[in-house]
Structure 1
Amino acid sequence: MCARERGWSTVAEPVQRPTEEPLDRWRGWKHRTRPAPGNRTDDRRFVAGAAVLGLVVAAGAVLTAGPWDSGQRKAELDRVAALERAGGAHHEGDGPQAPEPAPSAVPVLAALGEPSGARGPAAADLRASLGPLLKAPGLGTASTAAVVDVATGEQVYARGAATPMTPASTVKIATAAAALSALGPGHRIATTVRVSKDFRTVTLVGGGDPTLGEAGLRSLAEGTARALRAGAAREVRLTYDTSLYAGPALHPIGPNENIAPVSALMVDEGRLDDSDRGPAPRTADPAGEAARAFAELLGDAGVDTGSAGPAPGRAGAGAETVATHHSAPLSALVERALTNSDNDIAEALARQTALKAGRPASFAGGRAAVTDRLKKLGLPVAGSAFADGSGLDREDKVTAGMLAALLALAADPAHPELRAVHTGLPVAGFSGTLGTRYSPASRGTGTVRAKTGTLTGVNALAGTAVGPHGRLLAFAFLASGTTSAAEAEDSLDALAASLTRGAR
């Protein structure tokens, strides 16, 4: 997550590795109280009806649907399952660069009292409103823009829309869409425990879930203890396996409070404080810390792991899985990653996509897998480079046209598996990284939903806005060479807000 996105005074640049904390202090996670998951509201809240319901809908969405939502509605999950059994739809082969017209658009508009042929925003109107705003000094030395009418799939405005730019955290939209497309919204990441045939060795096996917390780890320990009691084991050797991930663990930006070393095994994203989002001191050894915490919980359950402490290792031949913990559904992880701009989850999503594609779970493997998956979705990826899944790497490159087309595709009823891309977008003035960027009286409050992006000299905003006649518009605005993050954010917010008025 980029620091400016949560109102911190610094931005996502490399910082000095935090001083190591005593293990006992880190173990404070055992006493934390986590927010309870919210209830899902109707995912259709982001379509044309938002123009009528306005702030009432937005406020209700914030109160009832947080970043820990359970994911897609059951009907959508059932539909995705049916599509997968039938071989899927629109995932393979050469697809269009923009989605087909949304079948529900005309009926929705008609229900709102608009004529069935109500038009979307005219290109001339958008040129008149966006052109001057794109010249704002706050947008730095270069800026690009793309706007797509979701109901028709038509790109109704473009300025440098095919020019690759550094996207910062807006690249998480692409990472999320690739993971949802490859794995499905109901996929869960498993952390397991394996016990040797002689009941003398226990191995904690990381599956790549950065959100594993106290409850999950304790459940694994208790399940393991039950299995060991059945085998009459009194003392065991504890090992931990992180072999699912390959390549360097440290992000290219170096030790940083915005992301932990990427590991297949970690607890609470390796955070050393009580936070669950934003920058925080991180452990330099997430897997080792998780294993030591697991050893303590095994002790609480009556299992002696000896004085040597856990060591890296892999389960031997004949070992059996005795306990499994599953993460929240992938849709919920995506929502949390987008709402809070969570870098650790985003990197996990890229690696899970790589694993599904049969590639190494590394920065390089994630880059190739995300690119391939977006190509299969028919998106214009020419010029794109996905150096990481989070957007912290300045080598990332995407175009405004690709991001806008992807957001439009995610709203297409033919792709219910991508719905969490929209439900995870922060709501202007209400939630996530847009919670403090729009005042209650600002145009766009409640009707703009967008992913933010912030690095030093780079600012971006990509999402949706409810435009004229209740039309849903997908947009992407990318800027570089900015000198003031605050001025850049104000300029980007003004661009998004301008889409909510337009000429009729």
Structure 2
Amino acid sequence: MLTTLVMLQAVTIVTGVYAVRNDLSLSTLTSRSSPTTPTASPEESPPISVVTAGPVLAQLPARAGDGPLPTKGTLTRQLTDALGDKALGDRVGAVVLDAVTGERLFASNPETGIVPASTTKLVTCAAALAALGPDARLSTRVVQGASADSIVLVGGGDPTLAGPSAKPGSYPRQASLATLASRTAKALKSRGVTKVTLSYDASLYTGPTLAPGWKPSYVPDGNVTPVHALAIDEGRQHPGHSQPRVSDPPRFAAAAFAGLLRKNGVGVAGAVRPARAARGAAELGRVDSAPVYALVEHALTFSDNDLSEALARQVAIKEGKPASFDGASDAIHAVLQRLGVAKGIRVYDGSGLSTRNSISADGLARLLALAAGSAHPDLRAIASGMPIAGFSGTLGNGRRFTGGDSKGQVGLVRAKTGTLNHVNTLAGLATTKDGRLVTFAFMADQVPVNAEPVLDRLAAIVARA
């Protein structure tokens, strides 16, 4: 039942984030956010090598996650006391559920819709795994144009596509524009073609490139790139830096591709222009992203805004909806309805940058319980992707679970963070001291000051229960 999940927790803590080297070419680096600083969620950890936890493994229970339930009275008293901290403000939702049965162990304003910030990514990723399947991949292709010496670069919605300046070695392994150029050049030369005209097709996505509820500063501050179906390095002008973001990601990617073709002995004549690829056009080259489960793990561990928006658009396409913000919102809702966890969840983007998003603590905790259970093994990457307290991703940045009551629970909590102006949220999994696996969601969207330490304390109380 839950044995696999608990073993996964133990193995991940010992070996690190799947033996990850987080290359900056795939990270979303944002400045620290506070209620008084106009920056967006989330912040990411610096590059990390393999994490080894040593004695932390000994703290993990050997049981299969179905030990006795914690004493409700004690849990209620401790959580109620912590929720009284003034740093949380006046609008707080909190829920703790038994992951085995779904029984509510604690609740405070459980049905209240709260601005979730980046905990929205849990919803997006669950919908992507359920709709697309864990092994699906996003493809970038080159197809034949209208003549033998014309070609079209077709974006498939993979924002992780590595441009010529990206450093190799990141996890998950990225598709490479250089590889696509090499394969395309080889195919062209086999036909005797050594000079082409190049167009690009980014028409897979439709509608506005910025979501409702996004602040105008998000793009210039490097929090996100306008959403396009063709981009390299998540729209960054320089792969290792969050800003500046390029003004026209498809054209930027196509220009880089033209340069790579020339390096492979194929000349490119004239200007590179947008165009629609003909349906059924012969494919000359193709590269595929990492599988969706690995993309989900990365999106959750490092709170990747660009990747989350791409996954949301892919859900829309799979569900037969327009590949727009509105289409993705409708598609995600439809998938959640099929899963039986749509109640209390309404989103308007995939990343959680939108202040229009509304999720109840109960809705988020129940989504996590579904992902942790055995009925939907296709959702397992939700559990494996969430940061580990004090070790990885947005919980391993040196500021979380490092002091006070929460310090002793390093490694025993997996959770997704969320931070916007006046918004702090935390939702995830914890194994209690007696070996019971529980899910939790703590959410506040009127915080007067940074409430992250209080959220860490709440999660630590659950892990100690």
Aligned partners of 1:45 and 1:57 also within 8 Å: no
- Residues 65 and 301 of structure 1, relative CA distance in 2, 3 Å threshold: closer
- Counterpart check, 1:352 vs 2:340: no
Aligned partners of 2:233 and 2:239 also within 8 Å: no
- Residues 152 and 61 of structure 1, relative CA distance in 2, 3 Å threshold: farther
- Counterpart check, 1:305 vs 2:254: no
- Residues 449 and 298 of structure 1, relative CA distance in 2, 3 Å threshold: same
Equivalences for 1:179-190 in 2 at 5 Å? 179-190=128-139
- Counterpart check, 1:236 vs 2:185: no
Aligned partners of 2:157 and 2:314 also within 8 Å: yes
How far off its partner does 1:370 sit? 0.5
Per the alignment, residue 294 of structure 1 pairs with 257
Per the alignment, residue 37 of structure 1 pairs with none
Structure 1: segments with no counterpart, 5+ residues: 1-42, 69-110
Aligned partners of 1:371 and 1:381 also within 8 Å: no
Per the alignment, residue 121 of structure 1 pairs with 70
- Per-residue CA deviation, residues 35-67 of structure 1 (Å, 9 max, x unaligned), is xxxxxxxx96742896xx6xx962433473567
Q: Distance in 1 between matches of 2:18 and 2:125?
A: 24
How far off its partner does 1:225 sit? 1.2
Per the alignment, residue 482 of structure 1 pairs with 447
Aligned partners of 1:67 and 1:332 also within 8 Å: no
Alignment partner of 1:239: what SS? strand
Per the alignment, residue 467 of structure 1 pairs with 432
Aligned partners of 1:67 and 1:339 also within 8 Å: no
Aligned partners of 1:425 and 1:451 also within 8 Å: yes
For residue 215 of structure 2, what is the amino acid of its counterpart?
Answer: I
- Counterpart check, 1:58 vs 2:13: yes
Per the alignment, residue 293 of structure 2 pairs with 331
- Residues 411 and 130 of structure 1, relative CA distance in 2, 3 Å threshold: same
Q: Distance in 2 between matches of 1:392 and 1:501?
A: 32
Per the alignment, residue 413 of structure 2 pairs with 448
Alignment partner of 1:264: what SS? coil
| Equivalent of 1:166 in 111, 115, 133 | 115
Per the alignment, residue 233 of structure 2 pairs with 268
Per the alignment, residue 330 of structure 2 pairs with 368
How far off its partner does 1:271 sit? 1.0
Q: Distance in 2 between matches of 1:216 and 1:204?
A: 13
| Equivalent of 1:219 in 179, 185, 188 | 179
Alignment partner of 1:348: what SS? helix
How far off its partner does 1:126 sit? 1.7
Per the alignment, residue 40 of structure 1 pairs with none
- Residues 444 and 271 of structure 1, relative CA distance in 2, 3 Å threshold: same
Aligned partners of 1:249 and 1:262 also within 8 Å: yes
How far off its partner does 1:199 sit? 1.3
| Equivalent of 1:175 in 110, 124, 130 | 124
Per the alignment, residue 386 of structure 2 pairs with 425
Aligned partners of 2:100 and 2:437 also within 8 Å: yes
Per the alignment, residue 79 of structure 1 pairs with none
For residue 200 of structure 1, what is the amino acid of its counterpart?
Answer: D
Q: Distance in 2 between matches of 1:424 and 1:263?
A: 25
Identity of aligned residues (%): 44
- Counterpart check, 1:47 vs 2:2: no
Alignment partner of 1:483: what SS? coil
How far off its partner does 1:405 sit? 0.5
- Residues 169 and 381 of structure 1, relative CA distance in 2, 3 Å threshold: same
Per the alignment, residue 106 of structure 1 pairs with none
Q: Distance in 1 between matches of 2:19 and 2:209?
A: 36
- Residues 139 and 289 of structure 1, relative CA distance in 2, 3 Å threshold: same
Alignment partner of 1:353: what SS? helix
For residue 205 of structure 1, what is the amino acid of its counterpart?
Answer: V
Alignment partner of 1:398: what SS? strand
Alignment partner of 2:267: what SS? coil
Q: Distance in 1 between matches of 2:240 and 2:146?
A: 40
Q: Distance in 2 between matches of 1:216 and 1:160?
A: 47
For residue 325 of structure 1, what is the amino acid of its counterpart?
Answer: V
TM-score by length of 2: 0.83
Structure 2: segments with no counterpart, 5+ residues: 24-60, 164-174
Aligned partners of 2:85 and 2:454 also within 8 Å: yes
Per the alignment, residue 360 of structure 2 pairs with 399
Q: Distance in 2 between matches of 1:433 and 1:209?
A: 23
Aligned partners of 2:442 and 2:455 also within 8 Å: yes
For residue 375 of structure 2, what is the amino acid of its counterpart?
Answer: A
Moved more, 360-369 or 216-225: 216-225
- Residues 117 and 267 of structure 1, relative CA distance in 2, 3 Å threshold: closer
Aligned partners of 2:66 and 2:437 also within 8 Å: no
Q: Distance in 2 between matches of 1:208 and 1:451?
A: 24
Q: Distance in 1 between matches of 2:20 and 2:263?
A: 36
For residue 273 of structure 2, what is the amino acid of its counterpart?
Answer: A
How far off its partner does 1:361 sit? 0.6
- Residues 318 and 163 of structure 1, relative CA distance in 2, 3 Å threshold: closer
For residue 171 of structure 1, what is the amino acid of its counterpart?
Answer: T
